[in-house]
Chains A and B, each alone.
Chain A
Amino acid sequence: MSVIGSRLLRKEDPKLLTGEGKYIDDIQVAGQLWMGMVRSTQAHAAIASVDLSAALEQPGVVAAYSGKDLTEGYWIAPLPCAWPVTPDMLNPPHYPVAVDEARYVGDIVAVVLAESRYEAADAVEHVVVEYEPLPVVASLTDAVADEKLAHPELGTNKAYTWAIDENPDGVQAALDGSAHKVEATYIQQRLIPSAMEPRGVLAVPSPHGGDITLYSATQVPHILRVMVAATTGIPEQMIRVIAPAVGGGFGAKLNINADEILAVALAQKLGKPVRWTETRTEAAGSTTHGRGQEQHVEIGSDADGKITAIRVKIDADMGAYMQLITPGTPLLGSFLYHGVYEAPAFSFTCEGFFTNKTPTDAYRGAGRPEASYAIERAMDMLAAEVGIDPAEIRRRNYINGGEKFENWDNPAGLTFDSGHYTPNLDLALDLAKYDELRAEQARRREAGESKQLGIGLCTYVEICGLAPSRALGDLGYGAGGWEHATVRMLPTGKVEVVSGSTPHGQGHETSWSMIVADKMGIDPADVTVLHSDTALSPLGLDTYGSRSLAVGGVAIAMAVDKLIDKCKALAAHQLEASVDDIVLEDGNLQVAGSPDTATPIQTMGFAAFTAHDLPEGMEPNLNEAVTYDPPNFAFPFGTHVCVVEVDEDTGEVEMIDYVAVDDCGQQINPLIVEGQVHGGVVQGVAQALWEDAVYDADGNPLNPSFMDYLVPSAAEVPNIRTDSTTTTSTSNPLGVKGVGEAGTIGSAAAAVNAVVDALSHHGVRDMAMPATPQRVWRTIDAAKNGGQA
């Protein structure tokens, strides 16, 4: 029986759901000190003085430091940015504690260490910081104007310009010659990632041994280890990083944070364990944000709506500093601004700007939701311009006419592994009962009902399987994209997998067990997966960019193949047969055609362990490793249909149906795929309808709490109906693509397209995110009565 493709319940869940999971706050060590961060209350100010004297006298306080106190002897390099996207990118040094200037509300200006968390929080209130306010770059508009400067010493806010623009004149000519043209600006508002578990860190030094163990609620323990060595100067082999159970990350735990480096440096200095857990307010204002872009899109077509050219210019908000992949995040979408459509002429330019706001970085989808939103909104506007149905304009422009293709070169220089778009669209429209919805929409319009119906489509493509190391090198990224796996059979025949992928909610232990069990013909319960600890799993590049299965999972599959080959050689020796005649069937090794020779593969563990009778030259034990570097990315796609009711009297939007038909190639566990789609869809519609990290003109965050920053709950979203098509990837031997971010990439555009569609008969063509009741009502009012939208 095939294990791959079955709906196995997640083996992680009993532990996590009953509280047995050990998260960072469950790990307590004797003698630990708590850090309390003194954070800037000013978006941009010179730090005139920091007075720690009163704080040092508070009960339980052991030490306190300003930025100036930490300028020597604590670190050898600033916090790392691993992705200098251009050779001349501006990247001012970013130290864990600001020294002369605070550059966003939340920037750390001093740190207090105390014996308890409460004492640390109390002492923070006794630190007196004198600020001298400086001009604040509080928005992208401010940043582009370049009059006020986020980093005055740089002389400009513009950090870089990056482009795919080989034939600008050709693109211009194609646009000029287009029968129809749409030009629009879309705002990708800032989002707060909001993982269920906040970030936390615990550094445990060994004052006599010299080594240090760093526990962190991170997605990237392997990358963190390298970067701790590079920033603190502690020899890398003396550093062990452990990511315990981690409660979600969405990209905001894909970073090297000031608190992590501070904890290590201060633990080494004081010879005591040092820990910190962010409050929700700190999570909202001081851990990285997502999105933050203005997208200027031009799209032209011929008279029938066939695309002639796409030109995109993005202004991207870096925030105050370059975090680990801040500058590269918008570029992860750069290759996808043509979506699932053929675009004979294509141009993309991105300019990155500093602002005096929380740094931005990866957030679920990282660049691709933005790209998908822009092209899918523009396609709806183009459909309106041409005067055809949104589904029809998509059909007319699909790559290869919507027929199946493999290895298609896109206009941005990538090669799409495989795609087959029309059947995917048809299935989604069928499930949604698209024609009936259109009829009902017409009826409500005719009747002039106050609740109008809107149907929004999004047919997206995305990039998974980050990434071929060579491709990352070409992009200037500071690491490779391989993944490592070791698979070993223990003496009793049970199997241990060591993976360099680091789960934080994805269900890796289940999926990896299924891959191994499927290949070996054994029970998935006989497989245990080890991960997330650099001492157990020294080689790895962790979890982000929907890469775990398409890279890490493939590495495991390849390592299992090697292990099976060795088992076959051992069985051939035992059975005195040729290895070429040994086959593996239902967990038994046997000579082909001779079932009486069947030997359970799991007995090979003991034979290899005792090593009493191995073939000549064979090493004892069964322990096979593979480091897999994918030859190409994988390009999942899908169709999302969002159905909304818009109350024209109040502007309220209610989602009444949602259909997601995703194609992520071969599925290992459809239950996990559906879970990823559900969560992703809600995270995407959250941007469309609810979430918005708002700042005032002085750079103060206005909603850094769950009271004011509206993360939707199950009560706000309809039952999400999922289905799938399967177009296997040509990029890897499992045929898998990836699904971790797909829901988010497909859903924001579907939701906004639905809201606009509901109001299109009033002449409404666009709606900014989030489509709040007030915004929708004002838009209706403007369309009907000529008011101000």
Chain B
Amino acid sequence: MIPAAFDYQVAESADHAIALLGEHGDESKLLAGGHSLVPMMKFRLATPTMVIDVGRLDDLRYIRAENGHVAIGALTRHHELENSDVLADACPMLKHVASLVGDPSVRHRGTLGGTLAHSDPASDLPAAVLALGGTLVAQGPSGTREIAANEFFTGYFESVLAPDEMLTEIRVPSGTGGWNYQKFNRRAQDWAIVGVGVADGGKGVSLVNMGSVPLRATAVEEALAGGASAADAAALAAEGTEPPTDLNADADYRGHLARTLVLRALTEAGVS
């Protein structure tokens, strides 16, 4: 890769990283797994002058079953989620979705906090955390705050994170209630053209790549809550969405895929 010139500093702790963010402001970027940031730097679409490497913060790499939820350190890699016994028991959906991200080399580098902070509407794990009703813990200069996943994503690659905040922990409710994840793509390693996450027997339904942010399929969730059949609810999957048009799919085809995949996901999740 031949990026524009940049300085590089290793963060020794989350506090250190946040201090560095404060010092360098908008011109700095946190580097975790690097599988989103580095390609953008390679194409010079991102030209941070200071790269702060948080990849060695091993104290933020954990998966713990806690009271009613699973707490996951932000630097936990997809590969670790994919092979976690804790998740197998307490949140098999997240474990499964992690196994579908990219390819093995991506999963050995990419981190859960990184993919959430990057806020790519086409990524799998943000949609899974959204369907699961997860909570994100952000740390800034004045301490930590908790952010509900469905309030986290604000726009295309944008979130509520302040420039001097970083994610430190992600919490997902424990539960093995009916879940499914549908990923539709042309090659195994690609982002989803459309993806669908169903959690907790249909209480949480999320959509991948159906808008500028990872979305909750609220029309589907509400219809199911109101007693609609899976087929009737799935027919509402694209309601209120503004899916993109790109080389893989036009917006109307994405809408069709969303309806088809929501029905499949609900059926697989045991929702009838």
Interface contact B187-A716, CB-CB below 8 Å: yes
Interface contact B248-A117, CB-CB below 8 Å: no
Query: What are the residues of chain B within 8 A of A778 when measuring CB–CB?
Result: 253
Q: A694-B247, A772-B248 are in contact. Are A650 and B187 (CB under 8 A)?
A: no
Query: What are the residues of chain A within 8 A of B257 when measuring CB–CB?
Result: 650
Q: Is A652 an interface residue (CB 8 A)?
A: yes
Interface contact B260-A773, CB-CB below 8 Å: no
A688 to chain B, nearest CB (A): 13
Interface contact B260-A774, CB-CB below 8 Å: no
Give the docked Cα–Cα distance between A716 and B190 (Å): 11
- Stretch from A325-333, A581-589, A706-714 forming part of the interface with B: A706-714
B210-252 interface bits toward A, Cβ cutoff 8 Å, 1 = contact, 0 = none: 0000000000000000000000000000000000000111100
A648-678 interface bits toward B, Cβ cutoff 8 Å, 1 = contact, 0 = none: 0110100000000000000000000000000
Query: What are the residues of chain A within 8 A of B190 when measuring CB–CB?
Result: 710
Residues in A122-179 with C-beta less than 8 Å from chain B:
122, 125
Interface contact A774-B4, CB-CB below 8 Å: no
A130 to chain B, nearest CB (A): 21
Q: Is A697 an interface residue (CB 8 A)?
A: no
Interface contact B253-A777, CB-CB below 8 Å: yes
Query: What are the residues of chain B within 8 A of A708 when measuring CB–CB?
Result: 247
User: What's the dominant secondary structure at chain B's contact region?
Assistant: loop
Q: Is A702 an interface residue (CB 8 A)?
A: yes
Q: A774-B248, A777-B256 are in contact. Are A716 and B193 (CB under 8 A)?
A: no
Q: Nearest CB to that of A280 among chain B residues?
A: B42
Q: Is A121 an interface residue (CB 8 A)?
A: yes
Q: Nearest CB to that of B188 among chain A residues?
A: A715
Residues in A672-719 with C-beta less than 8 Å from chain B:
690, 694, 702-703, 705, 707-708, 710, 712-713, 715-716
Give the docked Cα–Cα distance between A652 and B39 (Å): 29
Query: What are the residues of chain B within 8 A of A690 when measuring CB–CB?
Result: 186-187
B49 to chain A, nearest CB (A): 13
Query: What are the residues of chain B within 8 A of A650 when measuring CB–CB?
Result: 184, 257, 260-261
Q: A117-B2, A772-B248 are in contact. Are A649 and B187 (CB under 8 A)?
A: no
Interface contact A702-B188, CB-CB below 8 Å: no
Q: Is B144 an interface residue (CB 8 A)?
A: no
Chain B interface: which size bin?
20 to 34
Q: Is A86 an interface residue (CB 8 A)?
A: no
Interface contact B184-A652, CB-CB below 8 Å: yes
Give the docked Cα–Cα distance between A778 and B249 (Å): 11
Interface contact A710-B187, CB-CB below 8 Å: yes
Give the docked Cα–Cα distance between A705 and B256 (Å): 28
A778 to chain B, nearest CB (A): 8
Q: Nearest CB to that of B184 among chain A residues?
A: A650
Q: Is A118 an interface residue (CB 8 A)?
A: yes
B257 to chain A, nearest CB (A): 6
Interface contact A279-B2, CB-CB below 8 Å: yes
Give the docked Cα–Cα distance between A650 and B259 (Å): 10
Interface contact A774-B187, CB-CB below 8 Å: no
Query: What are the residues of chain A within 8 A of B247 when measuring CB–CB?
Result: 694, 702-703, 708
Q: Is B189 an interface residue (CB 8 A)?
A: yes
Q: Which of B44, B189, B253 contacts A774 (CB 8 A)?
A: B253
Query: What are the residues of chain A within 8 A of B256 when measuring CB–CB?
Result: 777
Q: A650-B260, A774-B250, A774-B253 are in contact. Are A713 and B184 (CB under 8 A)?
A: no
Give the docked Cα–Cα distance between A743 and B43 (Å): 34
Interface centre among B43, B103, B187 (most CB of A within 10 A): B187
Interface contact B193-A773, CB-CB below 8 Å: yes
Q: Nearest CB to that of B264 among chain A residues?
A: A649
B82 to chain A, nearest CB (A): 16
Query: What are the residues of chain B within 8 A of A707 when measuring CB–CB?
Result: 39
Q: Nearest CB to that of A281 among chain B residues?
A: B43
Query: What are the residues of chain B within 8 A of A702 when measuring CB–CB?
Result: 247
B238 to chain A, nearest CB (A): 14
Q: Which of A121, A652, A694 contacts B2 (CB 8 A)?
A: A121
Interface contact A713-B253, CB-CB below 8 Å: no
Query: What are the residues of chain A within 8 A of B261 when measuring CB–CB?
Result: 650
Query: What are the residues of chain A within 8 A of B5 when measuring CB–CB?
Result: 118, 122
Give the docked Cα–Cα distance between A117 and B2 (Å): 8
Residues in A258-314 with C-beta less than 8 Å from chain B:
279, 281
B216 to chain A, nearest CB (A): 23
A712 to chain B, nearest CB (A): 6
Give the docked Cα–Cα distance between A444 and B253 (Å): 25
Query: What are the residues of chain B within 8 A of A652 when measuring CB–CB?
Result: 184
Interface contact A122-B184, CB-CB below 8 Å: no
Residues in A222-252 with C-beta less than 8 Å from chain B:
none
Q: Which of B39, B44, B188, B260 contacts A713 (CB 8 A)?
A: B188
Q: A650-B257, A703-B247 are in contact. Are A715 and B189 (CB under 8 A)?
A: yes
A519 to chain B, nearest CB (A): 46
B1-22 interface bits toward A, Cβ cutoff 8 Å, 1 = contact, 0 = none: 0101100000000000000000
Give the docked Cα–Cα distance between A175 and B250 (Å): 41
Give the docked Cα–Cα distance between A710 and B249 (Å): 14
Give the docked Cα–Cα distance between A118 and B4 (Å): 8
Query: What are the residues of chain B within 8 A of A279 when measuring CB–CB?
Result: 2
Q: Nearest CB to that of B260 among chain A residues?
A: A649
Interface contact A122-B4, CB-CB below 8 Å: yes
Interface contact B260-A716, CB-CB below 8 Å: no
Interface centre among B39, B103, B250, B253 (most CB of A within 10 A): B253
Query: What are the residues of chain B within 8 A of A710 when measuring CB–CB?
Result: 186-187, 190
Q: A702-B247, A774-B250 are in contact. Are A715 and B187 (CB under 8 A)?
A: yes
Q: Nearest CB to that of B261 among chain A residues?
A: A650
Query: What are the residues of chain B within 8 A of A716 when measuring CB–CB?
Result: 187-188
Give the docked Cα–Cα distance between A708 and B246 (Å): 10
Q: Nearest CB to that of A709 among chain B residues?
A: B247
Query: What are the residues of chain A within 8 A of B260 when measuring CB–CB?
Result: 649-650
Residues in A699-755 with C-beta less than 8 Å from chain B:
702-703, 705, 707-708, 710, 712-713, 715-716
Interface contact B187-A713, CB-CB below 8 Å: yes
Query: What are the residues of chain B within 8 A of A772 when measuring CB–CB?
Result: 186, 248
Query: What are the residues of chain A within 8 A of B188 when measuring CB–CB?
Result: 713, 715-716
Q: Which of A121, A281, A649, A713 contacts B189 (CB 8 A)?
A: A713
Give the docked Cα–Cα distance between A433 and B39 (Å): 46
Give the docked Cα–Cα distance between A551 and B82 (Å): 52
Give the docked Cα–Cα distance between A324 and B110 (Å): 44
Contact surface of A with B, Cβ cutoff 8 Å = 117-118, 121-122, 125, 279, 281, 649-650, 652, 690, 694, 702-703, 705, 707-708, 710, 712-713, 715-716, 772-774, 777-778
The 13 listed contacts between A and B (C-beta, < 8 Å) are: A117-B2, A122-B5, A649-B260, A650-B184, A690-B186, A703-B247, A708-B247, A713-B103, A713-B189, A772-B248, A773-B186, A773-B249, A774-B249
Q: Nearest 4 pairs between A and B by C-beta? A: A715-B188, A121-B2, A774-B253, A649-B260
Given contacts A705-B43, A772-B248, list 9 more A-B pairs with CB under 8 A.
Answer: A118-B5, A125-B44, A649-B260, A652-B184, A710-B190, A713-B189, A773-B248, A774-B248, A777-B256
